Structure 1
Amino acid sequence: MSVYEYTTSNTGLEYDVYDKPSVGKSIVLGIQNILTSFGGIVAVPLSIAGIAGLSIADTAYIVSAALLASGIASIMQSKGFGPKNYRVGIGLPTVMGTDFGFVPAANVVINSMGGGLPAYFGGAILGGILEFILSHFVEPLMKIFTPIVTGTVITLMGLSMMPVAFDWIGGGFGNPNYGDPIYLIIAVTVLLVVLFLNRYGKGMASSAAVLIGMVVGYIISIPFGLVDFSKVAEAYWFKLPEIGRFGIDFNIKYSIPFIAGYLVTIIETVGVMQTLGEVTYTELTGKDMAAGVRADALGSMVGPLLGSGPVQSFSQNVGLIPLTKCGSRFVAIITGILLIVISFCPKFATIISIMPECVLGGASIVMFGTVAVSGIKTISKVRYTNRNMLIVASALGIGLGVTFRPAILEQLPGVLSSLFSSGLSAGTVVALVLSAILKEEEESKPELE
């Protein structure tokens, strides 16, 4: 049975997939989702703006476009539509956003190949079409996404994000005051608020623990001069995106640098979908996974048309589900609507964007850690044979190694460099390959303790 037919009961969630919290509570939880993902959504367009040498006005445009594209894609992925065997969107609570995995391809297309932003948008759309085609082959591939593989990938997904969380705690990578004790104090305060409210809070206080923790951290940051409200005063109250502002170049050569990125996206999206199934206690089929990949692909075609980049399902928001005890896709749809509204209001978006990174870092420890624990729970249900131990050890070892020392693979040829560009993708590839080539042990052989 699929997500469209089946959701378990007695899950421990306050709201299951098909439940609808009140609009007020959904908005609060939606804002919490946005706070969690906002940095990731706007970081990529800011990077692209730097690569392309854009003006402040053009940079503001592509940031708004990224918010709009993320909102539309989140609704598509969370709601799902189309006939049963060709659905687009997995129908689980998902937040979508622009993906850093495509930044290297953007640099090649914009600068090395000299195509500029029109080539970036055109190449991304053509790559999205390829991903849409490949989505039809996801279901057969699910045979190798066994529990030992998916559990390892989910664990690695959470663990590999910890360096990011700690960079945020330190004030952000490249910050001249990186590691300032003020940053650490604020992050620890946010962490403690989230922990105690989630553990001992009742009702909304428990569900919105992450949001409340971030608000507390935001307020504490103000007297320390970490929040610059002058940027808010300079921003517009309302502004519509200008569709087609830079143009689009559909030359096939510009799609080539994106191929590896989209292959990695498929692998990582399947991992996110598996994690969503775990934390929402939902049984997923290969068709569901294919529907999720198709939504990624369609979102990656719509995004560049709006002036943004390719999108992907965000893993950080998955960690909110066990913490908030809310697996409602209605909340994710509200999140998408809020993102669209924010894209039309640069002033409100700026208020969120000036939040100190140490605030997000304090909350991220629990969120990313929760994802890792979900993977450990999956692995714990598998027989720990010598084969399975080798798969887990190798995938985690290589995945975390690449996460800590990514420069070690920079000399690899283009496709391999892209395929192993992140610890998550590297560990996933290793888990899949070893699962395929290492034979299952005979039943008579003893399990490892």
Structure 2
Amino acid sequence: MNNNLLYNVEDKPPLGLTLLLAAQHLLAALGGIIAVPLVIGNVLKLPTTDTIILVNAALLVSGIVTIIQCRGLGPIGIRLPSVMGTSFTFVAAALAIGFSESGVAGILGASLIGSIVMIIGSFFMPYIRKLFPPVVTGTVVMMIGLSLIPVAVDWFAGGQPTDANYATPENLTMATFVLIIVVALVQWGKGIFSAAAIVIGMMTGYIIALLLGWVNFDGVKTAQVFALPQPLHFGLAFPISGIIGMSIAYLVTIVESNGNFLALGNATQTEITGKHLRGGVLCDGLGSALAAIMSTTPFSSFSQNIGVISLTGVASRYVVAFTGGLLVLAGLFPVFGALIVSIPLPVLGGAGLMMFAMIIAAGIQMLDKVEHSKRNGLIIAISIGCGLAVTTRPELLDKLPHFFKEVFGSGITVGSILALILNLVLPEESIKSKK
């Protein structure tokens, strides 16, 4: 992590530079934002027009909620550079509802009612903040980075292990090339070259990929130039079992969002208070309610963008609010989003591996300040070990009841919950190491 930020939270870079810096946050987040609606649309075998509506609404609402999260609206918003987007935490519950008679209307209705859990929970954040001492915070931040590494590795290799071109020498060479450019610019670049290292590295990789014929423009050709949002396109239904499942997912998201916001505070050199957490989680809950009304899936904060801040030293909330504006445009002009999605995965992977590894480094630095004791060692070891077990081998939960898969399907959630519980139950004095 940078000890000296190039731009602090309240700084406003020049407009041209702001646009460039906002673009690199957009590049880091866009794939994740459209992934959830694409997965749900494909698995439920929705018509292409319906899947496009899910995707466009996700981009538009992501932009609106990101702007509110960064700029604030009364008590709503953390007022830090936080990109918001659709969350994979809700996918299992959404698909279970989607396959029932309720369909997509049930997913959105359950999301709307379930968001009340997060909205109410936000008012208890000052108390919840006390549950996150440095040993828990550092463990959660480190687990966030570790859980993202497999995503970056697959990008780096060019897809999924089942793909024919996975980890070909060409893919690995391209990703390594982008990685080297990003590292060189961060280490030796000055001014704009250091601050915009990620977007410059990816643009360079994209141009080379274009010359090599790697870029597929099929999505750009078929994308609509302009599309208006369609509120309540699927209607709303309220299945009881679906509402319960979504409510559990929202409880899990509160834990994940807390971890992300604490990591964000570390990256931006901001002390996170209960008020910060209350505003952030409230924005998260209200944003998810808006998403349901606008015909897309629930939201949470994006941890990958914390890596962008850690790597570049640009912590300006105005830059990320500008990213929100770009996301709104992407939602209204689908062809814009399609162009971004055309970036080959190895180009994303070269920058992504570095970004996510920086989150791990931030977690290590936080834990380095924690007292070295047997108790703290147990908290860190068990939490990260069990979190990684689920991250690396998700099949571990396949034979357990659906409830367990829904709650503990994320390594971040497992690591966070264990760190919280162990910090509460392990005695403070009896197993401290002797000095």
Q: How does 1:199-348 map to 2 (within 5 A)?
A: 199-348=187-336
Aligned length: 433
Task: Indicate yes or no: 2:63 matched with 1:71.
Answer: yes
**Separation of aligned partners in 2, 1:334 and 1:103:** 28
Contact 1:102-1:261 at 8 Å conserved across structures? yes
Deviation of the 1:180 alpha carbon: 1.5
- 8 Å CA contact retained: 2:383, 2:418: yes
Of 1, 4, 8 in structure 2, the residue corresponding to residue 16 of structure 1 is: 8
- 2:93 and 2:242 in contact (8 A); partners too: no
Cα distance in 2 for partners of 1:307, 1:189 equals 40
Match of residue 162 from structure 1: 149
Residues 74-93 of structure 1 correspond to what in structure 2 (within 5 A)?
74-82=66-74, 87-93=75-81
Q: For residue 396 of structure 1, report the CA deviation from its aligned partner.
A: 1.0
- 1:11 Cα offset (Å): 5.6
Q: Is the 8 A contact 1:260 1:415 kept in 2?
A: no
Alignment of 1:89-104 (within 5 A): 89-104=77-92
Deviation, structure 1 residue 252: 4.1
Which 4+ stretches in 1 moved above 4 angstroms? 442-445
Residue aligning to 2:140: 153
Between 1:414-423 and 1:25-34, the stretch displaced more is 414-423
Matches of 1:104 and 1:337, distance apart in 2: 30
Asked if 2 retains the 8 angstrom alpha-carbon contact of 1:235 and 1:346, the reply is: yes
What secondary structure is seen at the aligned counterpart in 1 of 2:300?
strand
Task: Quickly say closer, same or farther: Cα 1:50–1:12, change in 2 above 3 A.
Answer: same
The one-letter amino acid paired with 1:15 is Y
1:250 deviation in Å? 3.5
Deviations 1:243-263 (A, max 9, x none): 222112244443111122111
Structure 1, unaligned stretches of length 5 or more? 1-9
Q: CA deviation at 1:445?
A: 5.2
Question: Equivalents in 2 of 1:251, 1:236: separation in Å?
Answer: 34
1:232 and 1:219 mapped to 2: Cα distance? Answer: 17
Question: In structure 1, how many angstroms separate the alpha carbons of the residues matched to 2:130 and 2:186?
Answer: 37
The yes-or-no answer on 1:36 pairing with 2:23 is no
8 Å CA contact retained: 2:102, 2:239: no
Amino acid in the other structure paired with 1:43: A
- CA RMSD after TM alignment: 1.6
Tell me, in whole angstroms, the C-alpha distance in 1 between the residues paired with 2:234 and 2:194: 45
SS at match of 1:53: coil
Give the secondary structure class of the aligned counterpart of 1:97.
strand
Normalised to the residue count of structure 2, the TM-score between the two structures is 0.96
Q: What are the superposed Cα offsets for residues 184-212 of structure 1, whole Å, 9 maximum, x if unpaired? A: 11110110010001111111111110001
Provide the rounded CA distance (Å) in 2 between the counterparts of 1:201 and 1:370.
18
8 Å contact 2:197–2:312 — kept in the other structure? yes
1:144 paired residue number: 131
**Match of 2:130, SS?**
helix
Output one character per residue of 1:119-153: Cα deviation in whole Å (capped at 9) or x when no partner.
Answer: 11111111111111122222212222110000011
Q: Secondary structure at the match of 1:436?
A: helix
Residues 32-89 of structure 1: per-residue CA shift (max 9 Å, x gap): 101001110010010111132122222222111110011011111111222xxxx221
Distance change >3 Å, CA 11–CA 393, structure 1 → 2: closer
From the superposition, tell whether residues 144 and 177 of structure 1 become closer, same or farther in structure 2 (CA, over 3 Å). same
Give me the whole-angstrom Cα distance separating, in 2, the residues matched to 1:44 and 1:305: 17
Identical aligned residues as a percent: 43
Q: Is the 1:385–1:441 contact (alpha carbons within 8 Å) kept by the matching residues of 2?
A: no
